[in-house]
Amino acid sequence: MGLVHAEEMTLNIGPQHPSTHGVLRLKVKTDGEIISEITPVIGYLHRCFEKHCENLSYEQVIPFTDRCDYIAAMNNSFGYVLAVEKLMDIQVPERVEYIRVIMAEYNRIASHLLALGTFGLDVGAYTPFLYMFRDRERILDLFEITCGARLLYNYMWVGGVSHDLPLGFMEASYRFLDEFEKNINEYHNILSYNKIFIERSADVGIMPKDVAIDYGVTGPNLRGSGVKWDLRKDEPYSIYNRFKFDVPVGTGIMGSVGDCWDRYWVRAEEMQESIKIIRQALDKIPREGNVHEALPKKVRPPKGSIYFRTESPRGDLGYYIISDGTPTPLRVKMRSPAFTALSALSEIATGWMLSDVLVILGSLDIVLGEIDR
């Protein structure tokens, strides 16, 4: 018998591929089924966000921040307006603070639902995706009655929000939360404790703590590796210090700490924590108040620069804003959490099977709009 001829094969996944979550291209070198090298190629959705910022006024940038991370648009504009407000030293009314937190947390749930649903798709489970979209639609309905948009809201303004909460929002909210809490258990039954799902995701794509920190990975991915780091808790912005909630971390229940299942689990648990925050905020929100009270006549921050971070559903979302005293920013840089998470992919996916790569990618929950900007 002759020798088996073995050589590495280069495989190209993407830019069009159903499980790359957008237009990502992965150059994969495989040795049989084992990945020996993986290089992500990005930029297929580079829409020149930063160039636009330099040519638009501060308010006009907000819709573009929405479009960067289109799954969690509220959280993205939240970070931006907080940064500009800090630069201008604006104090917003109590009611606005509460409304913002409620919206941000709702969007976090919506984002996590999509992340978990598509993660289920990646491992071959179609049903949870439909279940989760059912609940996501209901959150989008809440946004829609508030500001009229389903996906990209332009809701957070510098110094306020665009619309006050509409009549009936509170009741609809409470009703939704009650039903959604029950539905989470359904998800656990259908996906989290599913034998096949656990086999596919537990002990796969382990990201050790030090690797995660070295790559600057943040958010649920970092917490999945067992690091208790949440900006809402550790560097509270807005009014997050008034709420009681836990920071779930990965503990390796099904496999080892930092595997795909842990990252999944952290997201699932975070939805519970978000519900807690929303409930407290709904209880405490001042009933009266003008949400346009603190809107500045002109958004013209003084000279200076700021690096401001908030916790988006994907991790530390930083805005570096430089103002030169004119109505247009000199520079807006977005530090995107998905960008750093993806940069760690080549490290954690090497050595795994080809079919595991898409599971690992799905567990990182990347959004290409934010990576490429």
Q: Which residues bind other proteins (CB under 8 A)?
A: 15-18, 22-23, 42-48, 50-52, 54-55, 63-64, 67, 70-71, 114, 129-131, 133-134, 136-137, 140, 150-152, 211, 213-217, 227, 229, 234, 304-305, 307, 309, 316, 318, 320, 322, 330-331, 333, 335, 339-340, 342-344, 347, 368-369, 372-373
CB of 79 to other proteins, least distance (A): 13
CB of 307 to other proteins, least distance (A): 5
Cα dihedral sign, 109-114-117-120 = negative
CB 248 within 8 Å of CB 264: no
- Report whether 46 contacts 33 (CB < 8 A): no
Contacts of 323 (CB under 8 A, 6+ apart): 87, 301, 302, 303, 304, 305, 329, 330
H or E element, residue 115: helix 94-122
Q: Which of 153, 133, 132, 150 is nearest to 141 (CA)?
A: 150
d(CA 84, CA 282): 26
Q: What minimum distance in Å lies between the beta carbon of 334 and other proteins? A: 9
Q: How far is the CB of 134 from other proteins (least distance, A)?
A: 4
| Min dist. Cβ of residue 51 to other proteins (A) | 5
Based on CB atoms, which residue is closest to other proteins, 204 or 341?
341
- The gap from C-alpha 53 to its chain's centroid, in whole angstroms, comes to 22
How far apart are the C-alpha atoms of 278 and 284, rounded to whole Å? 10
Count how many Cα atoms sit within 13 Å of the Cα of residue 245 in the half-sphere of its side chain. 28
Tell me how far apart the alpha carbons of residues 269 and 302 are, in angstroms, rounded to a whole number: 41
311 contacts 319 by C-beta, under 8 angstroms:
no
Least separation in angstroms between residue 187's CB and other proteins is 14
Neighbouring C-alpha atoms within 13 Å toward the C-beta of 230: 20
DSSP reduced 3-state for 156:
strand
Shortest distance (Å) from residue 108 CB to other proteins: 16
Q: Closest approach of Cβ 4 to other proteins, in Å?
A: 31
47 or 188: whose CB is closer to other proteins? 47
Q: How far is the CB of 265 from other proteins (least distance, A)?
A: 21
* DSSP tag of 356: H
CA–CA separation, 272 and 280 (whole Å): 13
**Are 362 and 261 within 8 A, CB to CB?**
no
Nearer to other proteins, 85 or 97 (CB): 85
- Measured from the CB atom, is 14 or 93 closer to other proteins? 14
